[in-house]
Structure 1
Amino acid sequence: MNLGNYLQGREGFLAFLTYQHASLAFQTVLVGTILAVLVAVAVYRLPLFATLTLTTSRIALTIPSLALLALLIVPFGLGVVPSFIMLAFFAAMPVVGNAIVGLRSVPESVIESAKGIGFSQRRILVQVALPMAWPVILTGIRVSTQMVVGVAAIVAYVLGPGLGSLIFNGLSRLGGTNALEMAATGTILIVVIALVFDALLVLLGRLTIAKGLR
């Protein structure tokens, strides 16, 4: 395998695929996180619904991603739309569970103290509960991001964007010219994206989590 020769002259093309992959992962994690936190906020004070949501989110993670993607082809066709929906769905699952756990772990004494000084329920949520739950939520986001960056490779199955096309094309041409180099390049770049995103999330945690909660 001569990876160096394969990369020569393909820098722009590989940079474009890398950007597509990273952009798709970022957008789906962002959307999934927002939806997950909204769901967690809606159910965390309702024990039955919180438990059902936690259980559902864990079961949902066992759904084969390729099977879900194939089902989405029927209503949405090929391309970006089924890819985005599938990835956003999987992105939300680890976050919603962590968000519920984080919000429910806020000490009741802290909530009562906030009520005692006149905080409204909304203010308690925004200024007390969510900041205290943020370290746990961020852990869920990190897990979600790593999973989505990897799973995003399979969207090439439905002609979705990103580095998966390199891996699929390389594997389909094994034994041919540059087939192994193509698959290896896609895999390596996906790992690089995952490492960069995780480093950025660690930095975000250091900037946004109060020292007393670390």
Structure 2
Amino acid sequence: MTGLPFGEWLSQNQLDIIFRVQQHFLLSIYCVGLAALVGLTIALLTYRYVTLPNISIAVIAILFTIPSVAMFGFVFSLTGNALLTLIPVVVMYGLLPITRNAIVGLQAADPAVIDAAKGMGVGSFRMLWQIRFPIAWPVILAGLRVSTQLTIGILAIAAYVTDFGLGIFGFNALNNLGSVNTGNQALACVIFVAAVALFFDAVFVLVRRFTTPRGVRV
């Protein structure tokens, strides 16, 4: 079956598209923010040790390999609530690049610099904030950037169990293959999810440019 021309379909559905773009955009911010909070906390608690960082990354990596559709279905069977399913699952998939990069970045400070700072009486908090964190920031930011792209994509898959975001267009297209306008729905899902991802990626480019200390820029 053929449907409306794509431009005409967009015009007829523009309010719904705008609403779902806003949903996707805000949910991406919330999930990445929570993933950053959890991932950075894990990194701060483990980076000083020998084995804990590897154990933490291994556990998160194992969780990351679980198919997202299966994870959404499993968590939804426990919670019965769309948001209580969507947010924890998406945050879980966003953890790996943030945690791994934060640990690597915090461990990357030159031992000679650390020893010199200790000799000057620099305390643990100042050591972290003034030495380790500025050195680690570009690496941490790269992890956040990758996590954001993952989050935007996983949120689209969340339409399997929720009615939030742009993924509902793709899910409806798959659920009604061969019906009128399914091609338009699938194309809208692809275009607008990509647009949200490109917007966030541009933001990270600007953030990196204006927040990275000059001495550690690549």
* TM-score (norm: length of structure 1): 0.95
Q: Which residue of 2 aligns with 1:79?
A: 82
CA RMSD of aligned residues (A): 1.3
Question: Is residue 53 of structure 2 the alignment partner of residue 50 of structure 1?
Answer: yes
Shift of 1:94: 1.2
Question: Is residue 184 of structure 2 the alignment partner of residue 176 of structure 1?
Answer: no
Q: Which residue of 2 aligns with 1:60?
A: 63
Q: Which residue of 2 aligns with 1:69?
A: 72
Question: Is residue 147 of structure 2 the alignment partner of residue 144 of structure 1?
Answer: yes
Shift of 1:117: 2.3
Shift of 1:74: 2.4
AA aligned opposite 1:21:
H
Divergent runs of 4+, >6 A: none
Shift of 1:160: 4.1
AA aligned opposite 2:119:
G
Aligned residue for 1:63, secondary structure, equals coil
Q: Distance in 2 between matches of 1:66 and 1:76?
A: 15
Shift of 1:58: 2.5
Q: Deviations over 1:15-47 (max 9, x none)?
A: 110010111111101110111011101001111
Shift of 1:113: 2.1
Q: Which residue of 1 aligns with 2:194?
A: 191
Question: Is residue 206 of structure 2 the alignment partner of residue 203 of structure 1?
Answer: yes
AA aligned opposite 1:107:
D
Q: Deviations over 1:111-156 (max 9, x none)?
A: 1222222221011111211111111111111111111111111111
1:91-106 equivalences in 2 (<5 Å): 91-106=94-109
Q: Structure 2: which 5+ runs fail to align?
A: none
Q: Report how many aligned residue pairs link the two structures.
A: 214
Question: Is residue 39 of structure 2 the alignment partner of residue 36 of structure 1?
Answer: yes
Note if contact 1:78-1:160 (Cα within 8 Å) is conserved in structure 2: no
Q: Distance in 2 between matches of 1:194 and 1:71?
A: 27
Q: Structure 1: which 5+ runs fail to align?
A: none
1:25 aligned residue (6, 24, 28): 28
AA aligned opposite 1:161:
F
Question: Is residue 160 of structure 2 the alignment partner of residue 157 of structure 1?
Answer: yes
- After TM superposition, the structure 1 stretch with the greater mean CA deviation from structure 2, 152-161 or 180-189, is 152-161
- After TM superposition, the structure 1 stretch with the greater mean CA deviation from structure 2, 57-66 or 16-25, is 57-66
Q: Distance in 2 between matches of 1:54 and 1:148?
A: 18
Note if contact 1:78-1:158 (Cα within 8 Å) is conserved in structure 2: no
Note if contact 2:98-2:144 (Cα within 8 Å) is conserved in structure 1: yes
Note if contact 2:64-2:92 (Cα within 8 Å) is conserved in structure 1: no
Taking only the aligned residue pairs, the percentage that are identical comes to 35
AA aligned opposite 1:123:
R
